[in-house]
Amino acid sequence: MTDVASILTADSLEFLERYLNNAAPTGYESSGQKLWMDYLRPYVDTFITDAYGTAVGVINPDAEYKVVIEGHADEIGWYVNFVTDNGLIYVMRNGGSDHQIATSKAVHIHTQDGPVTGVFGWPAIHTRNPAKEKTPTKDNIFVDVGADSKEEVHAMGIYPGCVITYPDEFMTLAGDKFVCRAVDNRIGGFMIAEVARLMHEAGERPDFGLYIVNSVQEEVGLKGAQMIADRIKPDVAIITDVTHDTTTPMIEQTTHGRTKIGDGPVIAFAPSVQNKLREHLIAVAEQHDIPFQRQARSPATGTDTDAFAYSNGGVPSALIALALRYMHTTVEMVQRRDVENVIRLIHETVKSIKTGQTFSYFD
């Protein structure tokens, strides 16, 4: 078995921290995409991009047979929706932002002149009536930037449509847990970039075209993947995203299944996951002693797998997920060895694919 501790280098970990700390919410991914492309540049032949910001590093771009490995680049956030006369800001979701974790969090409101700091306010416990206590909802949470009027808010460059993110930055726990906002799913872009790095450093070059795809706007309906799938027209697509660690409190395993950080990559079973390709992934994992978990996801995976699978008349697609705790919070947590094993599984799978391989459903 490969020593998984040797896969991530000091340079790759430095990039991961910088990449996660950078704000790149849905619809505003360009700064993160530039960081990602700069890191990937030595390991690919060329890049393609599209009008909405999806970035693709390509190895062997002239090949007819095309294999995609993909993650998504965006993070959840909020929009400024309404400014009151006394300068408080009500918000609208940008992606699946959780209103229950918002109160008392600091935020950055992104303006044309740079970020403005604010906080999600909430009435003090002393002022609330326990018999009639309200809980946070998307309609009653608000941001306070210290202004006294709507005019003062506007003078800061803040208007409806400004995007809002959390500033929480990367940290490690217990030496082997990575914690940050935006792990979902900037960690996917990191992992596919690491596959390209490993191939480059090993002198491995596929005879097919390998498209390392970092899609935008997954958090609002798989939009970036839909666009880029139509442009690339791949023969095979291997997607990576996160899934839930269901062993933490208040998650019903009879409903959500059992997946756990530290137990390996999670291979999905779903209508959009092509059976032959999925079985190929399992065979690769078993051949290389890569631990893995199984997860049923129906009727849809809710990931870019669905977009690639149903594009271009049908593309054999599969999902390798990374177990994660506390999804869509500012403390999303993954296990380092899972990250390394997802990288290994994608890497070994790419090496195992043969040009022209159809993964025929009827073989």
- Reduce the DSSP state of residue 130 to 3 states and report it: helix
Tell me the residue type at 100: Q
- Reduce the DSSP state of residue 314 to 3 states and report it: coil
Annotated binding site for Zn(2+): 72, 184, 219, 241, 328
> Out of 3.40.1000.10, 3.30.1050.10, 3.40.630.10, 3.20.20.100, which CATH number does the structure's domain 4-75+181-352 have?
3.40.630.10
169 an active-site residue?
A: no
- Bridge partners (DSSP) of residue 144 are 88, 119
pLDDT of 5: 52
Tokens read off for 334: 């993954």
pLDDT of 160: 98
pLDDT of 4: 47
- Reduce the DSSP state of residue 259 to 3 states and report it: coil
Fold of 77-165: Elongation Factor Tu (Ef-tu); domain 3 (2.40.30)
CA distance linking residue 257 with residue 106, whole number of Å: 34
Task: Quote helix, strand, coil % in the chain, to nearest 5.
Answer: 30, 25, 40
Task: List per-residue pLDDT tens for the chain, 363 residues long.
Answer: 344 457 999 999 999 999 999 999 999 999 999 999 999 999 999 999 999 999 999 999 999 999 999 999 999 999 999 999 999 999 999 999 999 999 999 999 999 999 999 999 999 999 999 999 999 999 999 999 999 999 999 999 999 999 999 999 999 999 999 999 999 999 999 999 999 999 999 999 999 999 999 999 999 999 999 999 999 999 999 999 999 999 999 999 999 999 999 999 999 999 999 999 999 999 999 999 999 999 999 999 999 999 999 999 999 999 999 999 999 999 999 999 999 999 999 999 999 999 999 999 887
CA distance linking residue 305 with residue 272, whole number of Å: 7
Identify whether the C-beta of residue 75 lies closer than 8 Å to the C-beta of residue 216: no
pLDDT of 236: 98
Place of tokens 């492309």: 37
Identify whether the C-beta of residue 165 lies closer than 8 Å to the C-beta of residue 77: yes
Q: What are phi and psi of 344, to 5 degrees?
A: -60, -45
**Of 29, 218, 332, 348, catalytic:** 218
The answer for residues whose C-beta is within 8 angstroms of residue 87's C-beta and 6 or more apart is 144, 145, 147, 148, 149, 150, 152, 153
CA distance linking residue 37 with residue 196, whole number of Å: 12
Tokens read off for 20: 């996660």
Annotated binding site: 72, 184, 219, 241, 328
pLDDT of 3: 44
Tokens read off for 65: 């047979």
Identify whether the C-beta of residue 224 lies closer than 8 Å to the C-beta of residue 55: no
| Cβ-based neighbour number of residue 239 at 10 Å | 33
Identify whether the C-beta of residue 98 lies closer than 8 Å to the C-beta of residue 181: no
pLDDT of 361: 84
Domain ranges of the chain: 4-75+181-352, 77-165
Task: Answer yes or no: pTM beyond 0.85.
Answer: yes
